[in-house]
A and B are shown apart, each in its own frame.
Chain A
Amino acid sequence: MRKIVMMTAAAALMAASTSVKAEDVEVLHWWTSGGEAAALNVLKDDLEGQGIGWQDMPVAGGGGSEAMTVLRARVTSGNPPTAVQMLGFDILDWANEGALADLNIQAGLEGWDEVVPEALQQFAKHDGKWVSAPVNVHSTNWVWANKAVLDELGIAVPTNWDEFVAALEKVKASGKTAIAHGGQAWQDATVFDAVAMSTGGPEFYKKAFIDLDEDTLSSDTMKETFDRMAVIRSYVDDNFSGRDWNLATAMVINGDAAFQMMGDWAKGEFLNAGKVPDTDFLCFRFPGTQDQVTFNADQFAMFAQGPEVGKEQAALATAILSPSFQSAFNVVKGSVPARTDVSDEAFDACGKKGMADLKKAADSGNLYGSMAHGHANPAAVKNAMYDVITAHFNGEYDSATAVDELVTAVQINK
């Protein structure tokens, strides 16, 4: 027994000494599906061209939550990866723990402050220091529609709530499912985000979800938002619960349903099914939020490997924010670049629209972090909000109770 322990210990020492070479980067991420990983491969090739090895550490699941668990284990054991794919408040939390590197030198050289939107910088900088490199911006207030179904029923793209409800009613009357939706907490919250923005406008959205202002959270507008969620619920089919988002997308693709509210990653499903934007399917902002963009941004948080930022980590950060990578990656991924100065030449119709919307929203102060995707408030609050939204959407609370519960949830978890 003793001998065995000693042998394993010796083997471990050998393993440790050979594992991460100084000039390699180890990257923890959850982009494992075809398009995503292929997009990331662009980055890998870029680095290998500079003689920097890429050590891949993919852990998928739960929208990154499995990867975050693994990260905790890695950091606790004193073996953090070089860079970790991360969202919103998680980055700030880790920065608070003092675990992230300071990239200000690279940021200064490359002028990141000028090209990355202010709203996004809030999640990439901590105490005035760049700690993370943003890869893309997903916007979440999109509606995806089957054009053939809309044409057949004579429905124009709705531009406000009432038109939207009228359109939904028409679809429902025709016997098709009006809204394809998957009943998972994050999907419910994605819809809620858009409905809240449309109902109360950007001021309301900011006060309620970003500032967590109690008066706003308990306001009549919030109750109205929940009422509208109940309306949405009445246009969703009965089997929605637990459905994966891409099966909901398939319903729109197949013409069984007319609309789906989902982030821009849904586009990949349409393209993969051989559909063409503006010909087979439409993408438009949730009615009443034409000027706003709610976003979530994937970033690579840079973990401190020592007192100074290593050459390979600096190269990785610089490569991520280079215009060529931003364009190449986002064309494949369906999102839009995190820099607003990248050419939209390579993008399709929906991508061009997304880039234009983002720039406009960033310039006019209409760009807000998505609550549903962890860019408005910390994980504890976000999940507590999920609980309320989901319970209401599943009919456990009426709107008045939901408002009360929302306030309590924020109080406990703030």
Chain B
Amino acid sequence: MSISETSNPRGSGVDRLRDALPKIVLSPTVAIVAIFVYGFILFTLYLSFTDSRILPTFGWVGWQNYENLFRIRAWDTAVSNLVIFGVLYIVICCALGLLLAILLDQRIRAEGFIRTVYLYPMALSFIVTGVAWKWFLDPGIGIEAVVRGWGWTTFEFNWIKDSDMAIYTIVIAAVWQTSGFVMAMFLAGLRGIDSEMMKAAQIDGASTFALYRRIVIPQLRPAFMSAFVVLAHMAIKSYDLVIALTGGGPGRATELPATFMYSYTFTRNQMGIGAASAVIMLMTIAAIIVPYLWSELREKK
């Protein structure tokens, strides 16, 4: 549906330039992305087949880094943690965000204030909130100690100290950070829904629940798409969060691919293995994101 093709007859050089103008405007971005995203991906791919340790070096070692990578237990932990974390994080954020948006959309007093309260965690980095969260979750000084102080002496909340449960505390903190943002997206979606349609359904006697399930939620599909892209991007990049909260522990129970990659590339001087893990990570992301983007973008045309 390009306008230029239909309305401008081919002719003089000026016209041709005018036709090409949109592409010229877009071209710096394309060039930048080609170099700084896709070029770097290729570079990392190449590194993953080299013997790089402390800095990039170019001795070819074939698949050795990948073989080593899959021998490292922490990598398995990191991958399965990402699955647990990613799924829970995205699902809970969407559910909570939707719930909060619906609650806030009931002609509430002080809506502006409450909305800001829900939204503000997004403004803070985890360098800032990490310590607070760490204390808060620590059984000795945090919520467990406080509840016990109130007299409920058998209360237990020591997930952060428990290798099997620690990853869920990461989910709690991550949900805290972004669910407000998702709420804002859904709230915007709700506000955009045609109120005539709602009134008609109400007159037909539909219950509030049915109203939301049948009419409102299906219309929020674009909001879900935006939320998914934002959340998936956050889940994959979660790094600060883990470092601030558990440092990957107890043991290495809360290692995620991002922390794994960082530690092998930069602290363990195994840049080759780090690059291999980055490649696997990117391939996984591509396997999930590309089909999704494909279907969403194609439909719109």
Binding site for B on A (CB under 8 A): 1-2, 5, 62, 65, 68-69, 72, 75-76, 93-94, 97, 183-185, 237-243, 378-380, 383, 387, 390-391, 394, 396, 412-413
Contact = CB atoms under 8 A, between A and B. Distances in A.
A1 B266 CA distance: 35
A238 B55 CA distance: 41
B134 interface: yes
A394 B251 contact: yes
Interface string B152-196: 000000101101000000000000000000000000000000000
6 contacts: A68-B267, A72-B55, A380-B268, A380-B270, A396-B251, A412-B72
B12 interface: no
Top 5 closest A-B pairs, CB basis? A239-B140, A241-B161, A69-B266, A241-B250, A65-B267
B163 to A, nearest CB: 6
B138 interface: yes
A378 B54 CA distance: 11
Nearest to A96: B54
A98 to B, nearest CB: 11
B226 interface: no
B74 A72 contact: no
A394 B163 contact: yes
B115 interface: no
Contacts of B246: 242
Interface in B203-218: none
Contacts of A62: 243, 267
Nearest to A185: B249
A184 B252 CA distance: 10
Nearest to A391: B251
Contact of B55 (A75, A241, A243): A75
Interface string B266-295: 111110000000000000000000000000
B247 A184 contact: yes
Q: Which of B138, B268, B270 is the most central at the interface, judged by chain A CB atoms within 10 Å of its CB?
A: B268
B268 A383 contact: yes
Contact of A1 (B25, B53, B54, B267): B25
Nearest to A70: B266
A394 B71 CA distance: 21
Given A68-B266, A242-B134, A379-B268, A97 B251 contact: no
A5 B267 CA distance: 34
A183 B257 CA distance: 22
A243 to B, nearest CB: 8
Q: How large is the interface on B (under 10, 10 to 19, 20 to 34, 35 or more residues)?
A: 20 to 34
B249 A76 contact: no
A16 B212 CA distance: 59
Interface of B: 25, 28, 53-56, 68, 71-74, 134, 138-140, 158, 160-161, 163, 243, 246-247, 249-252, 262-263, 266-270
Given A97-B54, A241-B161, A242-B161, A390 B266 contact: no
Nearest to B161: A241
Nearest to B131: A244
B160 A241 contact: yes
Given A69-B262, A75-B55, 12 more contacts: A5-B28, A65-B266, A76-B55, A97-B55, A239-B139, A239-B158, A241-B250, A379-B267, A383-B268, A387-B73, A387-B74, A396-B163
A412 B264 CA distance: 13
Contacts of B266: 65, 68-69, 72
B28 A239 contact: no
A129 to B, nearest CB: 19
A1 B28 contact: yes
Nearest to B243: A62
B247 A390 contact: no
A2 B28 CA distance: 8
B267 A383 contact: yes
Contacts of B269: 93, 378-380
A387 B74 CA distance: 9
A171 B87 CA distance: 46
Contacts of A380: 53, 268-270
A328 to B, nearest CB: 32
Residue in A238, A242, A383, A396 whose Cβ sees the most chain B Cβ within 10 Å: A242
Nearest to B273: A380
A254 B160 CA distance: 25
Contact of A242 (B28, B160, B268): B160
A184 B249 contact: yes
Contacts of A413: 270
A383 B263 contact: yes
Contacts of B160: 241-242
Nearest to A75: B55
A68 B247 CA distance: 17
A391 B247 CA distance: 14
B55 A390 contact: no
A76 to B, nearest CB: 7
Given A93-B54, A383-B263, A183 B139 contact: no
A379 to B, nearest CB: 5
A382 B295 CA distance: 47
A84 to B, nearest CB: 13
Given A1-B25, A65-B266, A380-B268, A242 B163 contact: no
B77 to A, nearest CB: 11
A273 to B, nearest CB: 18
Contacts of B71: 412
Contact of B250 (A68, A394, A412): A394
A1 B247 CA distance: 41
A242 B74 contact: no
B156 to A, nearest CB: 11
A229 B16 CA distance: 77
B138 A72 contact: no
Contacts of B268: 379-380, 383
A244 to B, nearest CB: 9
Given A65-B266, A380-B270, A412-B68, A241 B53 contact: no
Contacts of B134: 242
Contacts of A237: 140
A240 B160 CA distance: 11
